[in-house]
């Protein structure tokens, strides 16, 4: 690769972002495949771990919640069986892992690729976006696994509303890109950002209905007379996304506008904010590294 091939003379201009990325799309593809190879290079089972990791987590969490703590998962039709609970947990895990892996790898991506940045001139946005590409490949693999597990354990084909899930995935992907761009450019100067992001993601895993349902939270709050606090759960856009995925997959219902409006609005704000902040700092990123 050479700077003659990947050129971006107007790194600080917001209007040049998408044309610059499109012009350097081959570099983006190359970096995605490089990151995939690096991630699984020393693993004996290689890319198979993209399937095994969420599957093992599903089995462990299903055992812990359904058999050890005997916590019941509920849908609109009543209490879920252990098989239904397993698929329910897996659906949340796949969506959250994409978010978590995407944001965390994007945050450190500029630091991890500082040698490339110092030698080649190209749109810096490509680095964090390419790192998210690895999480996206895992997401697609996990989604295929989810469909197979759904058919095997539940014994039926997912409802037609499942076809709407990719639309929400697009917005979730934009949310990850926006956060990744925002955190990565700040992490280039302040390496503490990495630790802060990891702590927030750990907190977010338990504060988001990943391994439990939103109805579970509502029931617990109602028992304590605190049901008015329930809307606070959805300040986190990932709560809205995961709950919407499950409504489409398990209930066969299109989620209400109240459920999806805020996550989408929040995503648009975060995406363009991250893009603007990153592009404003892009000309000086190599100096900070």
**Is 260 domain-assigned?**
yes
**Is 147 domain-assigned?**
yes
**Average pLDDT for residues 161-168, to the nearest whole number?**
94
Longest CA–CA span in the chain (Å) reads 65
**Is 262 domain-assigned?**
yes
**Is 66 domain-assigned?**
yes
Which residues, at least 6 apart from 181, have a Cβ–Cβ distance to it below 8 Å? 106, 125, 128, 129, 274, 275, 277, 278
**Is 5 domain-assigned?**
no
Separation CA 237–CA 66 (nearest Å): 27
pLDDT of residue 151: 93
Q: How many domains does the chain have?
A: 1
pLDDT band at 140 (very low <50, low <70, confident <90, very high): confident
pLDDT of residue 3: 40
| Residue spans of alpha helices (H) in 208-256 | 214-223, 237-246
Strand partners, 75: 78
**Is 190 domain-assigned?**
yes
pLDDT of residue 14: 62
Separation CA 95–CA 93 (nearest Å): 6
Q: What is the pLDDT of residues 179-230, one digit of tens each?
A: 999 999 999 888 899 999 999 999 999 999 998 888 888 888 999 989 899 9
Q: What is the pLDDT of residues 49-86, one digit of tens each?
A: 666 777 777 778 777 766 666 666 666 566 777 788 88
**Average pLDDT for residues 121-143, to the nearest whole number?**
86
Token pair of 188 as six digits: 């280039």
**Is 120 domain-assigned?**
yes
Which residues, at least 6 apart from 162, have a Cβ–Cβ distance to it below 8 Å? 248, 249
The closest alpha carbon to 39, from 116, 94, 92, 109, belongs to 109
- Report the predicted TM-score, pTM, of the whole model to 2 decimal places: 0.86
pLDDT of residue 282: 80
Tell me the C-alpha to C-alpha distance, in Å, between residue 208 and each of 35, 98, 148, 190.
Answer: 28, 14, 25, 27
Which helix H or strand E contains 74, and what residues bound it?
strand 74-75
pLDDT of residue 71: 65
Token pair of 87 as six digits: 């698929």
**Is 246 domain-assigned?**
yes
Q: 57 lies in which domain range?
A: 31-216+226-288
**Average pLDDT for residues 127-155, to the nearest whole number?**
88
């Amino acid at each position: 690769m050479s700077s003659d091939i990947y050129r971006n003379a107007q790194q600080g201009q917001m209007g040049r972002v998408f044309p610059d990325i499109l012009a350097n799309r081959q570099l983006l593809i190359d970096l995605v495949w490089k990151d995939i190879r690096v991630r699984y290079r020393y693993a004996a089972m290689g890319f198979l771990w993209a399937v095994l990791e969420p599957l093992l987590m599903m089995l462990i969490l299903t055992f812990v919640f359904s058999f050890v703590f005997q916590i019941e998962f509920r849908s609109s039709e009543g209490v879920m069986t252990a098989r239904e609970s397993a698929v329910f947990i897996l659906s949340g895990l796949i969506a959250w892992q994409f978010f978590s892996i995407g944001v965390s790898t994007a945050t450190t991506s500029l630091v991890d690729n500082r040698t490339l940045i110092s030698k080649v001139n190209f749109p810096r946005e490509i680095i964090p976006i390419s790192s998210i590409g690895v999480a996206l490949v895992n997401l697609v693999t996990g989604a295929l696994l989810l469909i197979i597990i759904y058919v095997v354990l539940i014994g039926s084909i997912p409802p037609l509303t499942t076809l709407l899930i990719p639309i929400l995935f697009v917005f979730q992907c934009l949310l990850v890109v926006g956060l990744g761009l925002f955190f990565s450019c700040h992490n280039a100067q302040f390496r503490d950002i990495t630790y802060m992001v990891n702590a927030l993601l750990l907190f977010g895993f338990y504060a988001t209905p990943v391994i439990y349902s939103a109805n579970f939270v509502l029931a617990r709050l109602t028992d304590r007379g605190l049901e008015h606090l329930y809307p606070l759960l959805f300040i986190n856009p990932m709560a809205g996304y995961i709950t919407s995925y499950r409504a489409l997959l398990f209930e066969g219902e299109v989620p209400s506008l109240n459920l999806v409006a805020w996550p989408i609005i929040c995503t648009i704000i975060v995406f363009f904010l991250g893009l603007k902040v990153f592009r404003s700092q892009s000309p000086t990123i190599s100096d900070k590294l």
